[in-house]
Amino acid sequence: MAKKQCTWPGEDALMIQYHDEEWGVPVHDDRKLFEFLVLDAFQAGLSWKTILHRRKNFAKAFANFDYKKVAKFDEAREQELLQDEGIIRNKLKVKGTVINARLFMEVQKEFGSFDKYIWQFTGGKTIDGKRKDTYEIPATSPESDAMSKDLKKRGFKFVGSTICYAFMQAAGMVNDHLITCARH
CB-hemisphere CA count at 13 Å for 180?
A: 9
Neighbours of 93 (CB within 10 A): 20
Residues in the chain: 184
Check the annotation: does 19 bind a ligand: yes
Partners of residue 175 on adjacent β-strands: 128
d(CA 111, CA 19): 30
SS3 23: coil
> Residue 28, annotated ligand binder?
no
Confirm whether residue 184 is marked as ligand binding.
Answer: no
164 labeled binding residue: no
Binding-site positions for Zn(2+): 6, 19, 177, 181
Binding residues: 6, 19, 177, 181
